Amino acid sequence: MTNLEIKELLDEKYIAYCNPDFIQSDPISIPHQFDEKKDIEISGFISATIAWGQRTSIIKNANSAMQRMGHEPFRFVMEHSEKDLKLLDGFVHRTFNAEDLKQFVRSLKHIYSAHDSLEDVFLEGLNLDERNVKSAISNFKHVFFQVPHQIRTQKHVADPMKGSSAKRINMFLRWMVRPADRGVDFGIWKRIPTSILSCPLDVHSGRNARDLGLLSRSQNDWKAVEELDASLRKFDANDPVKYDYALFGLGVFN
């Protein structure tokens, strides 16, 4: 296929999959249950964090987390006591368990006690010269674990500085930053440009990117993310990550 044919295919699949029908079967359905910005951020971050495995299980368990927080995630985060954290006992999604969720609640309270939005923390570490969110994600992890924590929980927040593709955080950033004009993403973060977002690289998107000649690196690591970013920016420099819908959808739905 020529570059023009690839672009036409990706644009076609973006339009097909970036619509409200997509929400029902995707973890993004969880933050769509909320209207307040901080509830959307917290529910989105937790849902994105556990977004691996079967999507039905991801959605079921993310809903379970919200139910345990009384469907008021921001209020729960800011007003919880250690006794309240017992409401999270029994939560589990694969290797992410109740103790990890409790740590997330403590860390989120630490951040919101000093910042109005999670966006502020990503902005603190953002290096626009890099043309990606690598340093922003790394800084977020650093701040997230400034409070006392179990070392085991660190594995649930990726760090691209250590080579991780940071798939789930990149997906969360897409949710928060991309505009809401198609009824899927939220567009509630206005200070991070869509042009520097990175594609949430996973098995599905990686396989299709390689099949289309957009990615040659065999590993799904941060170097592969940068290579794929460069390819997608040739098709849309202002909003390259919109093609995540196309690459993911081609793998899951086609």
**Count of domains for the chain:** 1
Q: What is the DSSP string of the chain?
A: --HHHHHHHHHHHHHHHSSHHHHTTSGGGTGGG--SHHHHHHHHHHHHHT--S-HHHHHHHHHHHHHHTTT-HHHHHHH--TTGGGGGTT-EETTEEHHHHHHHHHHHHHHHTT-S-HHHHHHHH--GGGTSSHHHHHHHHHHHTSS---GGGGGGS--GGGT---HHHHHHHHHHHS-STTSSS-----SS-GGG------HHHHHHHHHTTS---SS-SHHHHHHHHHHHHTT-SS-GGGHHHHHHHHHHT-
What's the predicted TM-score (pTM) here?
A: 0.96
Sign of CA dihedral 115, 118, 119, 125: positive
CA angle 12, 44, 95 (to 5 degrees): 105
Contact (Cβ atoms closer than 8 angstroms) between residue 151 and residue 103: no
DSSP β-bridge partners for residue 92: 97
Count of alpha carbons within 13 angstroms of residue 120, beta-carbon side: 11
Q: Are 178 and 196 in contact (CB under 8 A)?
A: no
Q: What single-letter amino acid sits at 79?
A: E
| Distance of alpha carbon 70 from alpha carbon 64, whole angstroms | 10
DSSP 178-219: S-STTSSS-----SS-GGG------HHHHHHHHHTTS---SS
Contacts of 96 by beta carbon, 8 Å cutoff, 6+ apart: 49, 50, 156
Give the pLDDT of residue 254. 58
pLDDT for position 251:
61
**Spatial distance between the Cα atoms of 143 and 167, rounded to a whole number of angstroms:** 19
Q: Report pLDDT for 1.
A: 87
> Domain residues for 164?
3-252
CA distance 11 to 64: 35
Positions of the chain with pLDDT under 50: none
What is the structure's pLDDT at 250?
A: 83
d(CA 25, CA 12): 20
**What is the rounded distance in angstroms from the CA atom of residue 34 to the CA atom of residue 100?**
23
Tokens standing for residue 146: 């400034």
